[in-house]
C-alpha cells in the first residue's frame, strides 16, 4: 500500500504535463477548423503537401538512424576498448556536443554546406569541380545535419550496454578457439544489440519530430513534418496543426508498438541480455 | 572501462551526500530562474517604468534599438527591454488567451492575424499621442499605425552573376530579367506567397495596377520556368547573407538588407523599377499593464521628430510624411523611386490572401 503512494508525484507530473496537454491537442484537432470532427484529418490526407512531407520525414529519419547506428556503434566500441582516460575524454566530447545550441550547430553546417560555403569553395579552388555541389536545401544537407545532432543520442545507449559486457566473455571465447572476428560476431555483437535497438528507437523517434535542423538546412524547399506543424500554428491554424501533431504522435506510438512486438519490451529500454 | 570502475563511479555519484548537494543546487537554480523570469514580465518588481518591445530580429533589431529604444529611454526615462525574436501570431494569441502579457509593444505585427481579429489582440490607438494628419489614410487603423516602409526589389550580386556565366556588365533591370535565362545563377525569392507570386506576375508582363486580384496559376507557371535555380529565404537575415556570400546571383531582397550587404562590402546592386512596397504595422498588445508607456513608445517611433532616426542605420523610412530622414542615404529609400513603377502590398490584401493563395504556394514549394 505504502509503495503505491510513491507513484503519486510522478503520476501527477505525467498527468498535468503530458496527458492533459496531449488530450487538449487531440480535442483541438477535432473541434477547431472545418466542422465535423475529422475534417482536419481529411484535409491532411487529401492535401498535396502533407502526405509527401510525412513520407520524406520517415525516409530521412530512417536513413539518419541507420547512419547513426553504424557511426555510433563504431564510436561506442572505440570508447569501450580505449584506455580509461581516453574513454572518458571521448564520452565527455560526445556529451559536450549535446550542450551546444542546436541552432548554432545547424548554422555552422550552413556555412560549411552552402554553394558558397567551405566545402564548395575548397573543391572549386582546387579545380575538382566547376560549379557548386548541391549540398544544402535538399535531403543530403538535412541528413548530414541531423546525423551530427543525433549521434550522441545513439552513442549513449549503445555505450551503456557495451560497458556492461564483461571482457572475460571475450577472453573465454578466445580460449575456446574463436578468432577475433568470430568472437566479435558471435559473442560481442549479440550482447550489444539491446543497446543498438534502444539507440535506434530513440534516434528514430527524435528524428521524425525534428524541427530546427531540417527547417534551416532544408531552406523552404525540403519541409519535414515538424516544420509543417510549426507553420500551421504560426498562421493560427490550430486545428490543422493539432491534427498533424496527433498523426505524428500516432506514428511514433506505432513504431514503439511494432518494435516492442519484434524485440520484446525489455530490450527497448536496454535492459535485456544481462550477462550472468 | 571495466565493470569495477563503473561500479565505483556509480557509488560515488549516487551517494546520499551527492544527492542532497544536487537537489539543493537544483532548487536554488529554480529559485534564481523564477526571480529572473518574473522581473522580465513588464512592470512587476521594478521601480523604474519599463516596457518590453519586440523589435524584429538580428541586425534590424540592433538598428531599432540604436535608433529608437536608446534615445527614447534617454528622453523619457522609460526603460525599453528589447525582445529580439521573430514574433509569430500564435505567440501573440497565446499571450492574450493566457493573460501572460510578456511583450507590450511591437514594431511589426506578424502575418496570419485576420484584420477582424485585430481588436482582440491589440489596444485601440490613443490618438491624443499621435498626429493623425501626418499619415496617409492607408497607413493606420484603429489598432495599428504603420511603423516603416520597406520594399522587395530586384537585387543582384555582380560577382555571383559573372561566376555563374552571365556576360560581364549585364545586370537585371526588372522582374522579367530575373526570369530571363540569359542571366545565370541562383535566384532568391521570399518564402512568402505575396512577394514571390507578385514578382512572378510582374515578370510575366502583368502591369503593376493589375496584379491584384492575383492570378496564382499564372504566377506558379512563371516560377516553374526557373524552378531549378530558385532559393527561398525565410527572413531578412537570410536574404542579406545570400547577397553577401553570393549564394544567389539575382532575385528578390528587402531594400534595407541589400543596403546592409553593400555596407558589408558585397558587389550588390538594386533595380528599383517594379519594387513591391510593404509596411510594418506597429501595435500595443491588448491587456498590457504598461499601456501608456507602450503607446508613448509607439508614438515616438512613428512620430515626425524621431521616427526617421532608423534611416540613419537602415533605409526603412517611416510612413509619417513629415518625418525627418537621413538625406545621405536617400537613394536607398523606396519612396525616392516612386517615379518608377511600383506595387503597394496592402495589409488587408495580404491577410485575406493567405487562405486563398498560400495552399497553392505551399504545394508548389513541395515540388522544388
- What single string gives the DSSP state of each residue in B257-295? HHHHHHHTT--EEEEEEEEEEEEEEEEEBTT-TTHHHHH
Give the chain A residue nearest B87 (alpha carbons). Answer: A234
Query: Which site among B362, B364, B365 would you substitute to test the A interface, given the most A Cβ atoms closer than 10 Å to its Cβ?
Result: B362
Query: Is the domain B151-278+332-365 a CATH 3.40.50.300 member?
Result: no
Give the chain B residue nearest A233 (alpha carbons). Answer: B90
Inter-chain residue contact B6 with A52, CB threshold 8 Å: no
Q: How far apart are CA B217 and CA B197, in angstroms?
A: 9
Cβ B305 vs Cβ B324: under 8 Å? yes
Give the chain B residue nearest A51 (alpha carbons). Answer: B366
Take residue A140 and report the three cell numbers written for it: 543530403
Instruction: Compute the nearest-CA separation of B330 from chain A (Å).
Output: 32
Inter-chain residue contact B231 with A219, CB threshold 8 Å: yes
With an 8 Å Cβ cutoff, is B326 touching chain A?
A: no
Dump pLDDT digits (tens) for B236-288: 888 999 999 999 999 999 999 999 999 999 999 999 999 999 999 999 999 99
**Peptide bond connecting B213 to the previous residue in cis, omega within 30 degrees of 0:** yes
Q: How far is CA B199 from CA B165, B214, B252, in A?
A: 24, 11, 8
3-class DSSP state of A48: coil
pTM: 0.82
Query: Which site among A135, A191, A236 would you substitute to test the B interface, given the most B Cβ atoms closer than 10 Å to its Cβ?
Result: A236
Per-domain residue ranges of chain B = 50-149+280-312, 151-278+332-365
Chain A residues in contact with B359 (beta carbon < 8 A): 47
With an 8 Å Cβ cutoff, is B245 touching chain A?
A: yes
> Domains in chain A and their CATH numbers?
50-268 (1.10.3720.10)
Q: How far apart are CA B263 and CA B251, in angstroms?
A: 19
Q: How far is CA A84 from CA A101, A163, B285, in A?
A: 28, 12, 57
Take residue A60 and report the three cell numbers written for it: 530521412
| DSSP secondary structure, B188-257, as one string | EEESSHHHHHHHHHHHTT--GGGSSS--HHHHHHHHHTTGGGEEEESSHHHHHHHHHHTSSSEEEEEHHH
With CA atoms as reference, report the closest residue to B335 among B312, B314, B319. Answer: B319
With an 8 Å Cβ cutoff, is B247 touching chain A?
A: yes
Q: Which residues does A74 contact at the CB level (< 8 Å), separation at least 6?
A: none
Domains B50-149+280-312 and B151-278+332-365 in one fold = yes
Dump pLDDT digits (tens) for B120-155: 999 999 999 999 898 888 889 999 999 999 999 999
Q: How far apart are CA B101 and CA B59, in angstroms?
A: 25
Q: Looking at the predicted structure, is the pLDDT value of residue B355 above 60?
A: yes
Question: Average pLDDT for residues A10-38, to the nearest whole number?
Answer: 89
Cβ B178 vs Cβ B199: under 8 Å? yes
Instruction: Compute the nearest-CA separation of A60 from chain B (Å).
Output: 16
Eight-class DSSP state of A17: I
Dump pLDDT digits (tens) for A27-37: 999 988 776 67
If one looks up domain B50-149+280-312 in CATH, what number appears? 3.40.190.10
- Quote the ipTM score: 0.78
Dump pLDDT digits (tens) for A226-257: 999 998 898 888 899 999 999 999 999 998 89
Chain B residues in contact with A117 (beta carbon < 8 A): 245
3-class DSSP state of B344: strand
Cβ B282 vs Cβ B149: under 8 Å? no
With CA atoms as reference, report the closest residue to B157 among B187, B115, B116, B192. Answer: B187
Q: How far apart are CA B57 and CA B80, in angstroms?
A: 16
Q: How far apart are CA B60 and CA B191, in angstroms?
A: 19
Give the chain A residue nearest B90 (alpha carbons). Answer: A234
Dump pLDDT digits (tens) for B285-326: 999 999 999 999 999 999 999 999 999 998 899 988 888 888
Dump pLDDT digits (tens) for A161-206: 999 998 899 889 989 988 989 889 989 999 999 899 989 999 999 9
Q: How far apart are CA B13 and CA B10, in angstroms?
A: 5
Amino acid at each position: 500500500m505504502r509503495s503505491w503512494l510513491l507513484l503519486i508525484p510522478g503520476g501527477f507530473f505525467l498527468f498535468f504535463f503530458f496527458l492533459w496537454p496531449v488530450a487538449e491537442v487531440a480535442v483541438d484537432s477535432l473541434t477547431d477548423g472545418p466542422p465535423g470532427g475529422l475534417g482536419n484529418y481529411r484535409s491532411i490526407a487529401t492535401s498535396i503537401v502533407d502526405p509527401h512531407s510525412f513520407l520524406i520525414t520517415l525516409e530521412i529519419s530512417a536513413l539518419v538512424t541507420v547512419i547513426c547506428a553504424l557511426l555510433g556503434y563504431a564510436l561506442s566500441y572505440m570508447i569501450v576498448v580505449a584506455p580509461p582516460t581516453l574513454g572518458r575524454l571521448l564520452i565527455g566530447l560526445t556529451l559536450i556536443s549535446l550542450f551546444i545550441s542546436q541552432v548554432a550547430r545547424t548554422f555552422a553546417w550552413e556555412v560549411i554546406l552552402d554553394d558558397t560555403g567551405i566545402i564548395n569553395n575548397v573543391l572549386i579552388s582546387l579545380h575538382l569541380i566547376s560549379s557548386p555541389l548541391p549540398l544544402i536545401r535538399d535531403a543530403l544537407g538535412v541528413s548530414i545535419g541531423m546525423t551530427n545532432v543525433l549521434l550522441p543520442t545513439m552513442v549513449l545507449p549503445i555505450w551503456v550496454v557495451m560497458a556492461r559486457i564483461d571482457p572475460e566473455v571475450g577472453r573465454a571465447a578466445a580460449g575456446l578457439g574463436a578468432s577475433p572476428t568470430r568472437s566479435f560476431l558471435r559473442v560481442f555483437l549479440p550482447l550489444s544489440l539491446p543497446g543498438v535497438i534502444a539507440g535506434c528507437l530513440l534516434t528514430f523517434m527524435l528524428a521524425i519530430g525534428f524541427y530546427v535542423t531540417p527547417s534551416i538546412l532544408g531552406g523552404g524547399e525540403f519541409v519535414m513534418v515538424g516544420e509543417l506543424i510549426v507553420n500551421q500554428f504560426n498562421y493560427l491554424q490550430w486545428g490543422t496543426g493539432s491534427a498533424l501533431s496527433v498523426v505524428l504522435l500516432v506514428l511514433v506510438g506505432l513504431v514503439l508498438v511494432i518494435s516492442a512486438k519484434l524485440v520484446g519490451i525489455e530490450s527497448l529500454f536496454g535492459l535485456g541480455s544481462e550477462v550472468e | 572501462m571495466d565493470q569495477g570502475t563503473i561500479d565505483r563511479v556509480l557509488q560515488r555519484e549516487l551517494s546520499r551526500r551527492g544527492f542532497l548537494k544536487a537537489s539543493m543546487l537544483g532548487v536554488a537554480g529554480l529559485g534564481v530562474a523564477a526571480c529572473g523570469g518574473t522581473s522580465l514580465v513588464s512592470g512587476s518588481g521594478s521601480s523604474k517604468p519599463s516596457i518590453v518591445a519586440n523589435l524584429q530580429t538580428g541586425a534590424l533589431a540592433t538598428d531599432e534599438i540604436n535608433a529608437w529604444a536608446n534615445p527614447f529611454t534617454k528622453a523619457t526615462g522609460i526603460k525599453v527591454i528589447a525582445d529580439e525574436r521573430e514574433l509569430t501570431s500564435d505567440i501573440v494569441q497565446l499571450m492574450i488567451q493566457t493573460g501572460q502579457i510578456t511583450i507590450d509593444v511591437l514594431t511589426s505585427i506578424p502575418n496570419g492575424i485576420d484584420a477582424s481579429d485585430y481588436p482582440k489582440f491589440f489596444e485601440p490607438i490613443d490618438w491624443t499621442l499621435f498626429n493623425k494628419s501626418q499619415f496617409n489614410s492607408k497607413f493606420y487603423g484603429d489598432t495599428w499605425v504603420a511603423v516603416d516602409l520597406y520594399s522587395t526589389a530586384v537585387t543582384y550580386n555582380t560577382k555571383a552573376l559573372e561566376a555563374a556565366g552571365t556576360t560581364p556588365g549585364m545586370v537585371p533591370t526588372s522582374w522579367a530579367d530575373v526570369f530571363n535565362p540569359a542571366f545565370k545563377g541562383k535566384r532568391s525569392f521570399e518564402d512568402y506567397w505575396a512577394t514571390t507570386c507578385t514578382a512572378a506576375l510582374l515578370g510575366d508582363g502583368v502591369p503593376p495596377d493589375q496584379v491584384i486580384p492575383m492570378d496564382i496559376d499564372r504566377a506558379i507557371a512563371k516560377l516553374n520556368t526557373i524552378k531549378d535555380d530558385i532559393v527561398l529565404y525565410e527572413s531578412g537575415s537570410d536574404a542579406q547573407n545570400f547577397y553577401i556570400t553570393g549564394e544567389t546571383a539575382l532575385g528578390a531582397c528587402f531594400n534595407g538588407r541589400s543596403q546592409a550587404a553593400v555596407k558589408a562590402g558585397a558587389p550588390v546592386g538594386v533595380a528599383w523599377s517594379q519594387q513591391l512596397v510593404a509596411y510594418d504595422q506597429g501595435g500595443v498588445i491588448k491587456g498590457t499593464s504598461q499601456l501608456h508607456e507602450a503607446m508613448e513608445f509607439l508614438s515616438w517611433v512613428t512620430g515626425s521628430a524621431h521616427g526617421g532616426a532608423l534611416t540613419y542605420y537602415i533605409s526603412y523610412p517611416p510612413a509619417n510624411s513629415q518625418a525627418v530622414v537621413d538625406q545621405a542615404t536617400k537613394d536607398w529609400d523606396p519612396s525616392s523611386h516612386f517615379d518608377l513603377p511600383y506595387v503597394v502590398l496592402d495589409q488587408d490584401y495580404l491577410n485575406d490572401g493567405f487562405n486563398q493563395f498560400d495552399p497553392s504556394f505551399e504545394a508548389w514549394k513541395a515540388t522544388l
